[in-house]
Structure 1
Amino acid sequence: MTPDQWLQALRTGIAAVAATPPEHLGREALSCPGWTARDVVAHLGGVHRWAVGVVVGQKIPYTDVDPDAPAGEAVIGWYADRADTLVSALISKDLDTPTKSPFGERPVRFWYRRQANEVAVHRWDIQHAYRGWDADPIDAALAADGISEWSELFTPRRIGRDGGTPEDLLGARILLHANDAGGSWLLRADAEGIGIVEDDAEPDATITASTSDLLLALWHRVPLSHLTVDGDVARVERVLDLVRI
């Protein structure tokens, strides 16, 4: 995806979060245990504020749920203001301006991608709280990008922190097959991550679902029981459990 596409996806996701019906803010966000829909909105607003600080060069502490977020329906307007500030900060900078990140130095364009994917998954969390499995799917192109981002950024960071991949999972292969957009990704677990590879080896299992559900399964939002899994389900679960945030 291009920065313009990420920016459009970010704006679309922001608008969807800001359209959350106030009467549903107290609903339990089952995909984010311990949080309500309101807490997810407050989390996103805090993430946006932190990202703005990174982009403009100000140190802002990161918190899971922003303590400044108001209670009740006022959180929606508060979130919209935080999101507007994020978009303004992003477009005010050259795409190649270097910034800090949890993944080392990255250009501003990195934050277009990261925030678009962050909002996409949490928008789904919020809608899932009050619409269940009728929550709108993540756009297929953005979900495909999110699968790549999950592999590139989060698997080495999380697996590296947690002591590496168990020896018996080294070389484990999972084929993700999208039944909507036709994409496929062969995941292979190595010592420090789960990479997307191209080889002819037989996968331990194939997961078939929409691109959105594949991404949401990687992030432990959609259980494997809701998808079509051919092969060693237990091995798949162990590989995916290596990456939990």
Structure 2
Amino acid sequence: MIGVDPIEEWGGAQRRVIALLANATEEQVGRRVPACPDWTVRDLFSHMVGLGSDVVAGDEPDDHNAAWTARQVEARRDSSVAELIAEWEATAEPLQAWMREHGPRPLGDVIIHEQDLRGALGVPGGKDSAGVAAIRDRFAPRVGARLPEGTTLGLVGRHWSWASDGGDPEQADVVLHADEFELHRACLARRSAAQLRSWTTKGDVEPVLGAFATLGDLPEEDRSE
């Protein structure tokens, strides 16, 4: 995250999410989140708030398992959005202090889920933040680590590119061209196989599709935020 202040980026993302949800209707907060289909907007926000509170309290399993995240949601089942916002705001300063001491890991959760919320609500924003770029740079190597042995991958955006072998992305075995934000979401398993195929300009993408399943299976339907 060279040149990126993760504390500042976390704060910026938090402010954007609060602005997104502060005046949301009951219908909106009750919508299912396409990227997290087991959860509504309220559920996902409860997880985001609960993660911060749990991290500050020292309750954070290495694998962020489903039971842990489910407890965050259930514990806040009866909380209003206003109450959730108030809890999150109270957690902000101690969580940012935790990040200064332990590292920027919580930035990923807020950056990823901000866009999940936006996808559910149909309100784009925050795509060009430095936080998005930082998480893209964090996850692209995770895709690379999952590639079939001996296969190289190149991702090429308008102003950013990456190669799994550190070389010229255009010379990789498989090359995808897309907007940087789309490549960011693809590295988080937030884009479908069909979308990845449509971006492929070189090579056979089929054997590498599984490498993009970093945070679960690829969605069956196309997605956008």
| Shorter-chain TM-score range | 0.7 to 0.9
TM-score under structure 2 length normalisation = 0.74
Contact 1:29-1:126 at 8 Å conserved across structures: yes
CA drift of 1:85 comes to: 2.8
Q: Is 1:129 aligned with 2:120?
A: yes
Partner of 1:172: 151
Give distance in 2, aligned partners of 1:24 and 1:215: 26
Partner of 2:81: 76
SS at match of 1:138: coil
Q: Deviations over 1:17-69 (max 9, x none)?
A: 53361321121211112222222112112211122223xxxx46762131211
* Aligned sequence identity (%): 19
Q: 2:160 aligns with which of 183, 194, 199?
A: 183
Partner of 1:51: 55
Q: 1:155 to 1:85 in 2, by over 3 A?
A: farther
Contact 2:30-2:40 at 8 Å conserved across structures: yes
Give distance in 2, aligned partners of 1:89 and 1:115: 12
Contact 1:121-1:138 at 8 Å conserved across structures: no
SS at match of 1:33: strand
Q: 1:185 to 1:145 in 2, by over 3 A?
A: same
User: What aligned pairs does 1:2-21 form with structure 2 within 5 A after superposition?
Assistant: 2-19=5-22, 21=24
TM-score under structure 1 length normalisation = 0.69
CA drift of 1:217 comes to: 0.9
Give distance in 2, aligned partners of 1:137 and 1:213: 13
Q: Deviations over 1:75-101 (max 9, x none)?
A: 412321232133210344683x3xxxx
Give distance in 2, aligned partners of 1:148 and 1:136: 19
Contact 1:143-1:211 at 8 Å conserved across structures: no
Q: 1:90 aligns with which of 86, 91, 95?
A: 95
Counterpart AA for 2:9: W
CA drift of 1:115 comes to: 2.5
Two-structure CA RMSD over aligned residues (Å)? 3.0
Q: 1:237 aligns with which of 209, 212, 224?
A: 209
User: Runs ≥4 in structure 1, deviation > 4 angstroms?
Assistant: 91-94
Q: 1:135 to 1:14 in 2, by over 3 A?
A: closer
5+ long unaligned stretches in structure 1: 98-106, 160-164, 189-196
Counterpart AA for 2:199: T
Contact 2:46-2:84 at 8 Å conserved across structures: yes
Partner of 1:194: none
Contact 1:43-1:64 at 8 Å conserved across structures: yes
Q: Is 1:114 aligned with 2:117?
A: no
Q: Is 1:142 aligned with 2:131?
A: yes
Contact 2:32-2:39 at 8 Å conserved across structures: yes
Give distance in 1, aligned partners of 2:155 and 2:15: 26
5+ long unaligned stretches in structure 2: 217-225
Contact 1:42-1:75 at 8 Å conserved across structures: no
**How many pairs align?**
202
User: What aligned pairs does 1:7-46 form with structure 2 within 5 A after superposition?
Assistant: 7-19=10-22, 21-22=24-25, 23-46=27-50
